[in-house]
Amino acid sequence: MIIAIDGPAASGKGTLAKRLADHFGLPHLDTGLLYRAVGRRMLDEGLRLEDSEAAAAIAEELEVVDLDETRLRGGEMGEAASVVAAYPKVRKALLDLQRRFAHQRGGAVLDGRDIGTVIAPGAEAKIFVTATPETRARRRHEELRRRGADLPFEDVLADIRRRDARDAGRADAPLKPAPDAQVLDTTALDIEAAFQAAVVIVQRRAAP
C-alpha cells in the first residue's frame, strides 16, 4: 500500500506521515529532505542556490542513505529546498529515487508536495494536508522557538507565504491536491485528531 501525503510548508504533513508509517508498519520518506540535502550541499560547497545546473548535478548523485536529518532542518534549509525544488532538472533527477522508494515491496508512506500528482499517482490513499497560513506560521514559529531561534512571527509568516507562492507557482509539478486526494484541513485540529482523521481516510481508501 502506498500512502501519499502532500501539503504546503508547516501543514503538519511530516509528523502525520511518520505516525501513519508507524501505525501501518510501512517505511517512510520525507521527500522534502531530498531537496534540503541538495540545498545543504550547495551551501556547504559555497555554490549559489541560483545555479540550477549545479543543483541538478548534486541531485543526480543523491541517495536516501545520504540524508542526515539533523543537518537538514531549520528555516534556512527550508528556504534553500524551496529554491532548488523549482528547478525542473532537479525534480527530474530525484523523480526515480522517490518512485523506487514508493514502489518497494509492501509499499511506503511518502510526504511532500507532488507525491499524489507526480511521484505516485496510483497510490491507494492520498491525503492533502493543509491549514491557514497563520496557523502554519504559528506552528513553525513555536518549533523554531523550541530550537532556540527567536524569529519574529511576522517574518515566519512572510516566509510561509513566500514558499506557498513559489511552490504553487512553479511550472514543474506545482503544489496542488491530486484530483482524487482527500483534503484534510488541520487548522482546528491537534496532531492526535489529525492522525485519527488520516487513519480513517487511509482505511477507507485502502479497503477492497
Binding residues for ATP: 7-15
Is the dihedral angle over the CA atoms 60, 81, 8, 22 positive or is it negative?
positive
Contact present, 28 and 69 (Cβ < 8 Å)? no
Taking the C-alpha atoms of residue 64 and residue 19, their distance in angstroms, rounded to an integer, is 20
Instruction: Yes or no: say if 84 and 50 are a contact pair by the CB < 8 Å rule.
Output: no
SS3 207: coil
Q: How many residues does the chain have?
A: 208
Residue 169 CB neighbours (<10 A): 10
Q: Which positions ≥6 away from 167 have C-beta within 8 Å? A: 8, 9, 82, 85, 113, 174, 175
- Binding-site residues sit at 7-15
Which of 127, 150, 146, 93 shows the shortest CA–CA distance to 202?
Answer: 127
| CB-based burial, 79-91: b 16+ in 10 Å, e otherwise | bbbbbbbbbebbb
